[in-house]
Structure 1
Amino acid sequence: MVLRSCCTFGQVLVWFRLGYVVLLWLCVTHFRCARAETKTVVQKDAEFDVTYNDTVTSDNQTIYAFNHTVSRNKTEGVRVTVDVLSEGAVSSPILFVVRQKQAVLSFQVPLILRGLYQRKYPYAHVGRTLCQPPTRTLTETQYFFVDVSTLSSLGTQYQLRISRVDSFTLHTDKKFSFTASPSQPQYFKYVFLDGVDTVIVKVNSEMTFPCSVMSIQDIQCPVYDLDNNVAFIGMYQTMTKTAAITVQRKDFPSNSFYVVVVVKTEDEACGGPLRFYPLRPDELTDAGNRSKTLDVVVSPAINSDVYVMGMLFCLSIFLSFYLLTFLVACVENKRMHRRREGLLNPVVMSPTETGKPGVTPVSPYGYGCFADNASTLSSEAITDSIASDAHYGYMERSLESVTGRSRQESLSSVEEDDYDTLADIDSDKNIVRTKKYLCVSDLARKDKRVLSKKYQIYFWNIATIGVFYALPVIQLVITYQTVVNVTGNQDICYYNFLCAHPLGNLSAFNNILSNLGYVMLGLLFLLIVLQRDIIHSRALDHNDLNALECGIPKHFGLFYAMGTALMMEGTAECLLPHTSFMYMIAGLCVLKLYQKRHPDINASAYTAYACLAAVIFFSVLGVVFGKGNMVFWIVFSVIHILATMLLSTQLYYMGRWRLDSGILRRIVYVIYTDCIRQCSGPMYIDRMVLLVMGNIVNWSLAAYGLLKTPNDFASYLLAIAICNLLLYFAFYIIMKLRSGERIQCMAMVCILFTAVVWGFALFFFFQGLSTWQKTPAESREHNRDCIVLSFFDDHDIWHFLSSIAMFGSFLVLLTMDDDLDNVQRDKIFVF
């Protein structure tokens, strides 16, 4: 009985709850029906180009019914324009819903758009264009309805106008002007012409601000034409005065697309000044007048024939250098062959024929290198020597037969490790380096095999650096290109979009193609160096006295490193800013110039690359923190000046000093003895002139950076490196001529040709078609059209000319001392 009572009570409780729920539902339904009975819905047949002035409250809803005839052969846009006339409508805005055949567009007025830090801007005047559903028949009558409602109990006045946009379709090569604002975006339709696969859409304005966005979207509904959604689909660019997007037919199956132009609510994205930030992000900010007049034009882009012509043009330029090098090599080989024939057929006269007993014919190799040797050779010795050397194709003489000295006594045959570990030899080394006039033989005392291995490390290190640099960069660029293609955000890349020709997934194939010269000419230089290296190695193997005791000591490791750096410069230019390998190229050229006259005391590869790594480190810091940061510029200027002074000391004393706790005491002692007690002049005047000029230039550059704080720190640092390289090169040439040496014809031609090419290259470099120091929109203000074959722009010409100029500069370093190949090293001055 107790159990049955509990069950009965539970059932009663369930039925009671169910009845309560049903009663509540009936009350809510009755309330809604009562509200519906009190709310009035009015539908009106409306017409185009008629302005409707009405009032809407929470108790009434107005529906405007429109119809229009759509033709498949003619596209007309439909524009909805709304104005709210009542004040205080922000708290209770009016909702407009446009119902079409295949789309629904809704927006509120006043339109609230959000800016940076969620600041809100109200717009009481709104204009929107309706998307156009496709029609299958030749003509079709379409209906659409505009519903107007609000939750405000107070009456809100508004104006509604529906009009046709007669110029909704853009025509090829025909400019069209229009006005847009954040609440009144504009978009237009373009249909590809037959036979046109690629077009370039250009939007221009005379007004820098307000900031705008140009977007390319597929033909679909809805169209994203507001500041807060324009980046959802398609391709887009921010713009101040100019924007350009290349569009390919293959990306749009309908063979048409929309060109959407939206004015942003704020200018920060285009580099404009920041406005006042409200204390609370929900506060409304006055939108102001942000109307902007623009014009748009769609032009056909280049076809495949222009791509082929561009590639052939690029290849022909650089392959011509291979052909020219081959012809020069053939001429030089023929000249050397004639010289060898003359050596292999000497006219040897007997003493009876000459009438002068003991006269020995003089070999052509006696010039320069052996002119001062007292030893003479008999005609039999010359004949034997020529016969023994005929197998190798050129004249050789062993060191022992000419100078009478054994090879073990030659200074160049001493092993570096044995030499440097002897205390007396260290003393002798310091005595040699303190001579007032040094010769190359004084600084070429170490074993050539040891030095060759030392300088080969330059090549292997930069090859390793290039691999570790290129692979992450390639991965990064592929990732960025994928992001650009997927998101459509073309603000990621700083191209010259007026001359950016896509190919496959690459946005600017012409910029990559123009970098081919760095790779091809770098490889050509490596081949030239390899050919010289092989000839020199054969001469050493055959104990050729010219190779052993004459001319500038030939170490090719730095040349190999320079050629590799030139090839890597092309890879870097294709993918990222190129300054990293430009620093290395400038540093390697300075080291090579110094190595020519100072082979024993040149910096090791590890020290050199460590210094270059420090330069690149400061370059990164300058790019990140240098803009307007005075603390950074003070620190950098101090380090720059201190490094200049330390390097000057190293060069002046040729490494015969050390940086330790007693350096200040020694400096004071030198100043006291040389300047105060007897005021003696510098012992090494030439070196002092170079170092004084170098310090003046570097101190001036440091002062300029401290006062001006340039935005492009990477280029500023590169300018420092180039100025020092040019200063040292000019000093080298002047001292070479002053020492009675001469510059051969080939080297002179290279110098003049390189100087002219550098002049033209710098002209195109300073055209400045883009700059990553500014926003993408500001960078596009510098964009310009192609100038060569409708394919290459000014920066591509800079790539062509700079690669040729650097190749010529390397040839200058390679050939400028060829006149000393037959001069003994103890007659070649060090400077």
Structure 2
Amino acid sequence: MVLRSCWKSRHKTSCRGPAPCWVLLWFCVTQFVLGGGALGETKNVVQKDAEFDITYNDTVTSDNQTIYAFNHTVSRNKSEGVRVTVDVSQGFESPILFVVRQKQAVLSFQIPLILRGLYQRKYPYNHVGRTLCQPPTRVASETQYFFVDVSTLSTQGTNYQLRVSRVESFTLHTDKKFIFTASPSQPQYFKYVFPDGVDTVIVKVNSDMTFPCSVMSIQDIQCPVYDLDNNVAFIGMYQTMTKKGAITVQRKDFPSNSFYVVVVVKTEDEACGGPLRFYPLRPDELIDAGNRSKIIDVIVTPAIKSEVYVMGMLFCLGIFLSFYLLTLLMACVANKRMKKREVFQIPADMSPAETASLLGKNGDGQTSAFPYEYGSFADNGSTLSSEAITDSATSTDNNYGYVGQEPFKRRPILNHLHHLAIRIDRSLDSVGRSRHESLSSVEEDDYDTLDDINSDKNIVRTKKFLYVADLSRKDKRILSKKYQIYFWNIATIAVFYALPVVQLVITYQTVVNVTGNQDICYYNFLCAHPLGALSAFNNILSNLGYVLLGLLFLLIILKRDIVHQRALVRNDVNALECGIPKHFGLYYAMGTALMMEGLLSACYHVCPNYTNFQFDTSFMYMIAGLCMLKLYQKRHPDINASAYTAYACLAGVIFFSVLGVVFGKGNNVFWIIFSVIHILATMLLSTQLYYMGRWRLDSGILRRMVHIIYTDSIRQCSGPMYIDRMVLLVMGNIVNWSLAAYGLLERPNDFASYLLAIAICNLLLYFAFYIIMKLRSGERIQCLALVCILFTAVVWGLALYFFFQGLSTWQKTPAESREHNRDCILLSFFDDHDIWHFLSSIAMFGSFLVLMTMDDDLDTVQRDKIFAF
């Protein structure tokens, strides 16, 4: 009966013109379901022809229902919005239902409008304004009808005000700012049509008000439009915002070549980092939301064209390929200089008796009288008089110089004799152990477990003045294999680490593209240029430098390794007995780590957020750790940490990095535990470094500590035996204890950066100590190394400037992070963080070159004259 009465009462008035009758049937069913009355009950239905821009004051009860009929002309070439505004100022016992029936859509809402916030808290709104969607029309112009039905179940009369108006400025224009006001119950949306020749635009929304929190959404032209806080995330792309918001929109995603820009003010501010509102006293309690209006402006600007993409890629490739070209030119110049030098081949091997006779040695290998004696050599300790050589020099001579010695000359024939003497001494010394070496496995433990070797270590390494020769006594083959493990381990780590990372970020990007949730990833949305499925291609491209420069460093190291191996094959005295021992395993690991940093940083910037931060920082810790190990290995090749120990410690650092980000914020227990572990690890490492690895961690450690304190500090009050090492370790402990205290007191939000700062501070401190001690020892820094140091320092300074610009941060909410977004500053394609990628990759490459070249001045200095510090 109710349905029949509804149909009869409205058929003649509502089912006319283009308004379909099925909409009327749907409305009647809705009225019955929502409580149109018991069976047999009828309402007094009044229909009024209404006009735009007129306010209708009326009263509604459960006995009457009012229908307002509107019509307007819709043109295909003109977009015009229609807005319905309803205001109820007095109290009421039941809500009023407003139903707007139009072509292809039905919009319904109640007054008061109840919007829910966090924990299902309810906020009522008595003033509601909604914009009607505009169904597309295929004809040039047509008249469309729509109806506003007002009904309630309240037996008391409730007054309301209804006004329907046209929205003249409904279409957004390119590069033209539009200002409007929105609130939770009065959302706003506008239409934008892609102009010819524009395929991608950036929709920018700004406000001078941080709060209330709002949401910007991009939706296709369709009905209904989801423009309330509880449904705005259903379709399209959306992001929360406080002061700034930006979304890049591509024409290919919208078949109609147009879209809606929807702005909704949220009922609460928690999503934007605002304060958490109080809990209601009762579950059904309504909370006064107060005034949450927000003034907003929106502007749509064209995005960059494809030519800018090409220019950006060529610029990126050009920068880093220029380093390849410069390296190639320097290699050609070096080879040209080498060809100008006189090259002498070592004569073929002679029998031991003939060679001994020639060199003035007896069968036991002892030196006898020799007519030409000249400078000392570490290989056999024999000496020859340089005066005799100088007197006999009658042809083209060569100059040789060592630290602390005057340059002297010797003739080429004596060079041959000198090399022969070294080779024969080595062959005679190796006779007694050749069989042993052929039968034993080449393992470091075979030497370390011998008691006499251990005794020798304790004697040698505890001398007051140590030289590199004292700490490079192990077999070169053993050490070479030991340090090659660094490379193979990091290569294995890289493979097993990178594969799941790539898979995960692909999933992240897919989720962003499918759901449209722009809050998942923390981009610089004002300079995020998409390409294909990637939302911020420029942030990924700028990481190419790490990969290319890491590969270049590996090629440079490979060349040096080959040259060194050839020198060993021809028994070059400089390669065998002079300079810092050449071990390249750590260099290969450093180059691989730099390449992996580029790959993982690119993966991180596919979708930077709170859950994948460790992709960007893990290999930064490894690079810092490997650089410190390489710096220590230069003067202490025999006692440097093994690859397994080093990577285990780095794994512990990464583990604490994850814990710090997940649990460190405001957690006092975590910070206390971390600070204690930090200080204890610093003290333990200091002890190991001071005693050159001869301090053992066993059950007798406390007894030995008490004994040393008693004998050295109390009984005889003696100062530290190793002054230089003590200065370094005291400074290191001061720095680390200060950093631990800072973390415990301040509890920085960005724990990953705090941990990285600890590693960098220790690396810089050790590097500064190394340079100072190198100069104190009478060594010098060659021109190439000095240029690398100065160049790297300048680039690091510029890189850090751009790093601290802070265009986004996942320590805050996505809306707060977008407050730091800024436009591109380089080629309209790269932002400040991209420039950080460029400069930091160059600076890391330069730092590696500094480590590689800083001791080249020692290549002709005997190792028993090079200080170990």
Q: Same fold (TM over 0.5)?
A: yes
Following superposition, the deviation at residue 709 of structure 1 comes to 0.4
2:712 paired with 1:674? yes
Check whether the contact 1:318–1:521 (CA below 8 A) recurs between aligned residues: yes
Change (3 A) 1:560 1:382: closer
Aligned residue in 1 for 2:41: 35
Check whether the contact 1:215–1:237 (CA below 8 A) recurs between aligned residues: yes
Check whether the contact 1:399–1:407 (CA below 8 A) recurs between aligned residues: no
Following superposition, the deviation at residue 367 of structure 1 comes to 3.3
Aligned residue in 1 for 2:247: 245
Classify the secondary structure of the residue corresponding to 2:129: strand
Q: How does 1:268-279 map to 2 (within 5 A)?
A: 268-279=270-281
Code of the aligned partner of 1:56: V
Following superposition, the deviation at residue 86 of structure 1 comes to 2.4
TM-score of the two chains, using structure 1 as the length reference: 0.90
Mapped partners of 2:665, 2:203: distance in 1 = 34
Mapped partners of 2:389, 2:260: distance in 1 = 101
Check whether the contact 2:390–2:410 (CA below 8 A) recurs between aligned residues: no
Following superposition, the deviation at residue 336 of structure 1 comes to 1.2
Q: How does 1:383-462 map to 2 (within 5 A)?
A: 399-401=422-424, 406-407=429-430, 416-462=444-490
Change (3 A) 1:488 1:430: same
Check whether the contact 1:369–1:550 (CA below 8 A) recurs between aligned residues: no
The one-character-per-residue Cα deviations of 1:193-248 (angstroms, maximum 9, x if unpaired) are 10000000000000000100000000000000000000000000000100000000
After alignment, is 813-822 or 662-671 more displaced? 662-671
2:510 paired with 1:476? no
Decide which of 609, 626, 633 is 2:671's aligned counterpart: 633
Change (3 A) 1:145 1:378: closer
Mapped partners of 1:409, 1:823: distance in 2 = 29
Check whether the contact 1:131–1:222 (CA below 8 A) recurs between aligned residues: yes
Aligned residue in 2 for 1:610: 648
Following superposition, the deviation at residue 378 of structure 1 comes to 8.3
Change (3 A) 1:626 1:417: closer
After alignment, is 129-138 or 775-784 more displaced? 129-138
Code of the aligned partner of 1:489: N
Mapped partners of 2:139, 2:388: distance in 1 = 117
Mapped partners of 1:32, 1:366: distance in 2 = 114
Decide which of 588, 595, 611 is 1:567's aligned counterpart: 595
2:136 paired with 1:98? no
Unaligned runs of 5+ in 2: 1-36, 347-370, 373-386, 605-612
Aligned residue in 1 for 2:11: none
2:299 paired with 1:297? yes
Following superposition, the deviation at residue 84 of structure 1 comes to 1.2
Change (3 A) 1:398 1:495: farther
Check whether the contact 1:203–1:296 (CA below 8 A) recurs between aligned residues: yes
Check whether the contact 1:551–1:823 (CA below 8 A) recurs between aligned residues: yes
Mapped partners of 1:166, 1:792: distance in 2 = 38
Aligned residue in 2 for 1:359: 392
After alignment, is 594-603 or 274-283 more displaced? 274-283
Mapped partners of 1:572, 1:657: distance in 2 = 38
TM-score of the two chains, using structure 2 as the length reference: 0.87
Mapped partners of 1:369, 1:724: distance in 2 = 30
Change (3 A) 1:423 1:356: closer
Check whether the contact 1:360–1:379 (CA below 8 A) recurs between aligned residues: no
Following superposition, the deviation at residue 665 of structure 1 comes to 2.1
Aligned residue in 2 for 1:286: 288
2:203 paired with 1:163? no
Mapped partners of 1:169, 1:621: distance in 2 = 50
Mapped partners of 1:378, 1:510: distance in 2 = 61
Change (3 A) 1:363 1:659: farther
Check whether the contact 1:397–1:545 (CA below 8 A) recurs between aligned residues: no
Check whether the contact 2:45–2:66 (CA below 8 A) recurs between aligned residues: yes
Mapped partners of 2:726, 2:388: distance in 1 = 56
Classify the secondary structure of the residue corresponding to 1:553: coil
Following superposition, the deviation at residue 426 of structure 1 comes to 1.2
Change (3 A) 1:377 1:173: closer
Classify the secondary structure of the residue corresponding to 1:782: coil
Code of the aligned partner of 1:63: I
Decide which of 215, 227, 230 is 1:228's aligned counterpart: 230
CA RMSD of aligned residues (A): 2.6
Aligned residue in 2 for 1:497: 525
Following superposition, the deviation at residue 92 of structure 1 comes to 1.1
The one-character-per-residue Cα deviations of 1:655-690 (angstroms, maximum 9, x if unpaired) are 111122322222122112111222111000000000
Check whether the contact 2:688–2:694 (CA below 8 A) recurs between aligned residues: yes
Decide which of 60, 80, 86 is 2:84's aligned counterpart: 80
Following superposition, the deviation at residue 373 of structure 1 comes to 14
Mapped partners of 1:363, 1:402: distance in 2 = 26
Aligned residue in 2 for 1:755: 793
Change (3 A) 1:320 1:281: farther
Aligned length, in residue pairs:
780
Following superposition, the deviation at residue 422 of structure 1 comes to 2.0
Aligned residue in 2 for 1:257: 259
2:204 paired with 1:202? yes
Mapped partners of 1:146, 1:285: distance in 2 = 29
Code of the aligned partner of 1:648: S
Change (3 A) 1:268 1:671: same
The one-character-per-residue Cα deviations of 1:601-642 (angstroms, maximum 9, x if unpaired) are 000000000000000000000000100111111111111000
Aligned residue in 2 for 1:389: none
Change (3 A) 1:400 1:373: farther
Aligned residue in 2 for 1:212: 214
Following superposition, the deviation at residue 383 of structure 1 comes to 6.5
Mapped partners of 1:709, 1:439: distance in 2 = 43
2:784 paired with 1:746? yes
Check whether the contact 1:399–1:406 (CA below 8 A) recurs between aligned residues: no
Check whether the contact 1:103–1:221 (CA below 8 A) recurs between aligned residues: yes
Check whether the contact 2:397–2:410 (CA below 8 A) recurs between aligned residues: no
Code of the aligned partner of 2:429: S
Following superposition, the deviation at residue 750 of structure 1 comes to 0.4
Code of the aligned partner of 1:809: S
Code of the aligned partner of 1:35: E
The one-character-per-residue Cα deviations of 1:124-168 (angstroms, maximum 9, x if unpaired) are 000000000111121111110000001111111110000011110
Decide which of 800, 806, 811 is 2:838's aligned counterpart: 800
Query: Identity of counterpart residues, as a percentage?
Result: 81
Classify the secondary structure of the residue corresponding to 2:392: coil
Change (3 A) 1:566 1:702: same
Aligned residue in 2 for 1:6: none
Change (3 A) 1:398 1:794: farther
Following superposition, the deviation at residue 280 of structure 1 comes to 3.9
Classify the secondary structure of the residue corresponding to 2:339: helix
The one-character-per-residue Cα deviations of 1:503-561 (angstroms, maximum 9, x if unpaired) are 00000000000000000000000000000001111111221111111110000000000
Change (3 A) 1:260 1:635: same
